[in-house]
Homo-oligomer: A and B are copies of this chain.
Amino acid sequence: MMNSYTHRPARVDAQRAARLREDITTFHTEYCAVLDRGALEQWPLFFTEDALYRITGRENADLGLPVGLVYCEGRAMMHDRAVAIARTQMFAPRYTLHMLGPVRVESEEGGVITAQTPFLLVQTLVEGPSTVHLAGCYHDRFVRQGDQLLLAERHVIHDTNILANDLVYPT
């Protein structure tokens, strides 16, 4: 199986890609709105029950290393992480802004949609300027549940070098 972050030419016809881009964009705007207002407890709800969530550096990803800075399997682990982050936020309050570029729809096969979306995580500490905390790309696999999309996998592959002990905000 190829790593999900490997580039492959898009293979969805133009009209279908446009429709899927709309659906995924709607998903993204809800996801980011929830995170950017600090409603961390709602974050796991954007994923399937046994979803994979990973944050890893580009270098690791290029080498095909499976692990990363953050690795959550399933909503329960995401919930724990959300609680830990919420606690940290009390000590070092900050605002986050997710700035997303256009969605690249790569494939749709057997109900699974593969897509990539570039992002900037802009962070603002109290009384400080806004800076690019993390720059990278989402490598996503979506499935449908009823009339909504859920993430079955999100690999957050970041270009930015970050310290291993930095508790990264969900991205």
Q: Is A134 an interface residue (CB 8 A)?
A: yes
| Chain B residues whose CB sits within 8 angstroms of the CB of A17 once the complex forms | 26
Taking the closest CB of chain B, its distance from the CB of A40, in whole angstroms, is 13
Taking the closest CB of chain B, its distance from the CB of A146, in whole angstroms, is 12
B130–A130 touching, CB < 8 Å = no
Interface residues of A in 15-66 (CB under 8 A from B): 17-18, 21-23, 25-26, 28-30, 32-34, 36-37, 39, 58
B135–A32 touching, CB < 8 Å = no
Interface residues of A in 95-123 (CB under 8 A from B): 95-104, 116, 118, 120, 122
B28–A95 touching, CB < 8 Å = no
A33–B116 touching, CB < 8 Å = yes
Taking the closest CB of chain B, its distance from the CB of A37, in whole angstroms, is 5
A118–B132 touching, CB < 8 Å = no
Known: A122-B135, A137-B36. A102 touches B25 (CB 8 A): yes
B118–A32 touching, CB < 8 Å = yes
Which chain B residue lies CB-closest to A119? B99
Interface residues of A in 130-153 (CB under 8 A from B): 130-132, 134-137, 147
Partner of A10, one of B30, B131, B135: B30
B161–A129 touching, CB < 8 Å = yes
A124–B161 touching, CB < 8 Å = yes
Taking the closest CB of chain B, its distance from the CB of A108, in whole angstroms, is 14
A118 to B30, CA, bound (A): 12
B137–A28 touching, CB < 8 Å = no
